[in-house]
Structure 1
Amino acid sequence: MVKAMKKTAKSILGHNEILEEKILESNNFSPMKNSQLAVELKYEADHHHYIDVQEIEYIEFYVGNAYQAMNFFVNVLGFKAVAYAGLETGVKDRVSYVIECEGVRLILTSSLIYDSPISEHVKRHGDSIIDIAFIVDNINNSLTKAVQSQARPIQEPTVLCYGQDQAIKATIAGYGHLVHSLVQRHPSKKTFLPNYQPIQCPVLPSQNHIVAIDHLAFCVEQGNLESWNYFYHQVFGFHESHQEAIATQYSAMNSKVLRNDNGKIKFTITEPAAGNCQSQITEFLTFNYGYGVQHLAFLSNNICQTVRFLCSNGIEFLQIPATYYNQLEKRLGHAIPEIKTFQELNILVDKDQTGYLMQAFTKPIQSRPTFFLEIIERKGAEGFGSGNIKALFEAVESEQRRRGNLKT
């Protein structure tokens, strides 16, 4: 098995051009054909054969202008900039900002070279997520298990040194252009990663009420849902917790929700299904030029305050039809004192066996009709708003109609 290579990283997060070229070469992991799936994925994964990921360490975006993106997340979404890497820190090919909010850590990276893999990524996909990094206990064991599970390693375990501090990082291919970095660090170490310098900012009370990452939603092309479902079962031991097949008058989709053993990492994977018109999933795939992360869901401890804060800073949310709220109390089976507030703020409400949840969805936060944000507050519910999906689809179809993309 590949041994850790002890060296000081020469660029952000230990990336190198070999890694980035491999990301661009192909679809990385080549999913098995559906015909190869001999049985439905209802098995319990063997702890000895998959990577035991604990939680999300960070999510990295490749963007056209990291400085502008950082200011958007800080001044509009209420994050805090905590670290920087670039020419001033010895990095010659890119600029990165680390931003945080409670339990959420994001990296925003842009290229200093016009024809670099980062630049090519942004040219093809726009500002979008490239890396969902996981915390692991043992990097070498994790990479060994990844290879045994048919995952493709694209960066060997590398010791990243910063003074007396160090972390070990490896990377494997996900689907499409997405990768998953595996990070092993001492839990008491607070330094992010090498070649970053802290950004000194005044500590202000958070106004956005965002406390964690709830889940990420991926879009894949029709016919690939089971293949990628299999990949995350096989490599990470994720198990299926929910599935949906939704159809409206115009479009349709199939989706599955996967989560890791401790429930801290949750993915929804969605594919378009046959319908009368182009679905929102197809629209995403068209303008994203392939697979990708459609939205990132932030967990809030007060969704009304979060939505008000974001709206006050210019974020637009999907407009939910009044008919949804006219039927809401009947569907849930009880009165909702806050129903007028929810309607005013376009907040959806749903319940399951364990409680209820509230969720709101922004319009795309960039020029392409691709990536958007979800705000979700959970009151015991473990689901993903099954009762809201049709209403959400209809709201998105209204926006598609305005863009001229709701067509056969």
Structure 2
Amino acid sequence: MAAPARRLCHIAFHVPPGQTLARDLQRLFGFQPMAVREANGWRQLALRSGDAVFLVNEGSGSREPLYSLDPCHAMPSATNLCFDVADAGGSARALQVRGCCVLVPPVSVRDAEGAVTYTVVSSPVGNLSLTLLERANYRGHFLPGFQPLSSKIGPGWISHVDHLTLACTRGSSPALMRWFHDCLGFYHLPLSPGEVPDLGFEVTAASGRGGLRLTALQSSAGSAIPTLLLAESLPGAAKSQDQVEQFLAHHRGPGLQHVGLYTPNIMEATEKVTLAGGQFLTPPEAYYQLPDKERQILAAGHEPSQLAQQGILLDGSKGQFLLQIFTKSLFAEDTFFLELIQRQGATGFGQGNIQALWQSVKEQAARSKEA
């Protein structure tokens, strides 16, 4: 591998002035501001909940924002993943040898708490770039160049980033999997017994036409990096019925479709988000009447009526379950959403719930047209 990543430092977004993402993360999802930088036409605000850190770059300056770059993308979206590496300069050189474009050559930034070195390279996923950050000796609150807003971040509803889902063009998953393996050290994580890496895990649509291919990638042992999930459409689906194709159309290309945020108590977190004004996708009414769904929910130690009232999905078997719920898009352009997830021993991604999400997206699109 060219540049083995050790942990996810933060996820960066680029939004126009006045966009409400930073406020929504605080008001709806319990993220707390930790550091800010205002310079060269940019306002960069780092927000944190548990170990999950989002960096919102607002504006469009004449110079690149620190630790990222302006992608000049037509839509507000998640544009950058920042990974901790042992040697930023060496990583940039190694990736360049593999054909990656180094968008920002290695730069050192220093303050009274120490120094960091970072570089920004291209990824094969649309407008998504990768920042490789070397900060082993930095003692500060966030990163040099930022003013700390709080030295103590209290407990939030979110503990860490569970997974990152990349929406990809049809047929691209095998090449992307090899790129993340060769360049960053990710490995195939089977979602079903005997799964072939290049084929992934296929979920067919209820109509029998089309479906999704999911390919999960995990980092090497000892690192603290969320699972990457590659999602692409199978042939035959109508675009109005496929959330990946909808994302590609609205986002105008591949990118980070959603972030799965882990919460130790999904019912409490869902209630707080709802009370704060957050909106979730509503599961189809038939979901909780599926054969054996009530038995499955009871086996996991939950009340079917409570999950139905809150719209929380549950998947799993043999004593291993996960609960999940999906927000509506955080952008009017429908280019990014969040997932809340709680695991009870399960390591998958709710493959059995994908049909429900599919139907929810379809019904929401139909309601939008009627409105």
Structure 1 residues 144, 113: closer, same or farther in 2, change over 3 A? closer
Shift in Å, 1:365? 1.7
- Write the distance in 2 (CA, Å) between the matches of 1:338 and 1:188: 47
The answer on 1:287 being equivalent to 2:250 is yes
Equivalent residue pairs, number: 348
Equivalent positions of 1:107-126 (< 5 A) are 107-113=55-61, 118=70, 120-121=72-73, 124-125=74-75
Match of 1:62 among 14, 19, 23: 14
Task: Name the aligned partner's letter for residue 59 of structure 1.
Answer: I
- Cα 1:251–1:318 change in 2 (3 A) is farther
- Answer yes or no: is the 8 Å Cα contact 1:221–1:271 preserved in 2: yes
The CA distance in 2 between the partners of 1:230 and 1:368, in whole Å, is 31
- The equivalent position to 1:194 in structure 2, one of 144, 169, 173, is 144
Please give the alpha-carbon distance, in whole angstroms, between the structure 2 residues aligned to 1:113 and 1:151: 25
Q: Which of 289, 307, 317 matches 1:342?
A: 307
CA-based RMSD = 2.6
Q: Deviations over 1:260-290 (max 9, x none)?
A: 1136321111112223421221111111111
Contact 2:201 2:215 in 1 (8 A): yes
* AA in 1 matched with 2:179: F
Q: Which residue of 2 aligns with 1:235?
A: 183
> Which of 331, 340, 346 is 1:366 aligned to?
331
Alignment partner, residue 228 of structure 2: 267
Q: Distance in 1 between matches of 2:85 and 2:99?
A: 19
1:212 equivalenced with 2:160 (yes/no)? yes
- Structure 2: give runs of 5+ residues left out of the alignment: 192-199
TM-score after normalising by structure 1: 0.78
**Does the aligned pair in 1 maintain the 2:29–2:157 contact within 8 Å?**
no
Range 163-172 or range 99-108, more displaced: 163-172
Find the residue that maps to 2:159 and give its secondary structure. strand
Post-superposition shift, 1:394? 1.4
Whichever residue aligns with residue 183 of structure 1, its letter is: L
Find out whether 1:105 has 2:53 as its counterpart. Answer: yes
Q: Give 1:76-155 correspondences, 5 Å limit.
A: 76-86=28-38, 91-113=39-61, 118=70, 120-121=72-73, 124-125=74-75, 127-155=76-104
How far did residue 400 of structure 1 move?
2.2
Q: How has the CA–CA distance of structure 1 residues 311 and 113 changed in structure 2, closer, same or farther, with 3 Å as cutoff?
A: same
Distance 1:353 1:338 in 2: 18
**Which residue of the other structure, out of 120, 127, 145, is the alignment partner of 1:177?**
127
* Contact 1:136/1:183, CA 8 A, preserved across alignment: yes
Deviation at 1:314, TM superposition (A): 1.1
Q: What displacement does 1:65 show?
A: 2.8
Percent of residue pairs bearing the same amino acid type: 22
Q: Secondary structure at the match of 1:120?
A: coil
Superposed, which structure 2 residues align to 1:292-307 within 5 Å? 292-307=255-270
**Structure 1: gaps of 5 or more residues:** 1-48
Distance 2:201 2:132 in 1: 30
Note closer, same or farther for the CA distance 1:289–1:378 as it changes in structure 2 (3 Å cut).
same
Instruction: Find out whether 1:323 has 2:282 as its counterpart.
Output: no
Sort the Cα spacing of 1:224 and 1:403 in 2 relative to 1 into closer, same or farther, 3 A.
Answer: farther
Aligned-pair CA distance for 1:350: 1.4
Deviates more, 1:240-249 or 1:53-62: 240-249
TM-score by length of 2: 0.86
